[in-house]
């Protein structure tokens, strides 16, 4: 059993197009689907609008469904 890296977690969420809630360090709550991410930012899409979010501003990314983070 191996532990997946945080990048694998984000890639899994993007590939499955899972809805997420993103909490920023200033307390703002954003919801949508992550359509792109790299080492600096991510794109969050909801209702036809896309938001660019810098990763240094993100506190927590919480998928709306369970995600298996351990690979067997």
Over the stretch 8-44, which tens digit does the pLDDT of each residue have? Answer: 888 889 999 999 999 999 999 999 999 999 999 999 9
Higher pLDDT, 30 or 71: 30
Structure tokens at 67: 């995600």
Using pLDDT thresholds of 50, 70 and 90, give the confidence band for residue 71. Answer: low
What phi, psi does 6 have (nearest 5°)?
-55, -35
Q: Is residue 72 part of a domain?
A: no
**CATH number of the domain bearing residue 19:** 2.30.30.100
Q: Is residue 55 part of a domain?
A: yes
pLDDT at position 70, please?
66
What phi, psi does 66 have (nearest 5°)?
-70, 135
Confirm if 53 and 24 have CB atoms less than 8 A apart. yes
pLDDT at position 1, please?
43
Q: Which domain holds residue 42?
A: 2-65
**Which CA distances in Å does 26 have to 31, 56, 57, 60?**
15, 11, 8, 11
């Amino acid at each position: 059993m191996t532990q997946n890296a945080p990048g694998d977690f984000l890639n899994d969420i993007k590939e499955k197009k899972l809805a997420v809630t993103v909490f920023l360090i200033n307390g703002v709550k954003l919801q949508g689907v992550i359509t792109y991410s790299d080492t600096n930012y991510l794109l969050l899409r909801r209702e036809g609008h896309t938001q660019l979010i810098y990763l240094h501003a993100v506190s927590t990314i919480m998928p709306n469904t369970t995600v298996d983070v351990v690979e067997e």
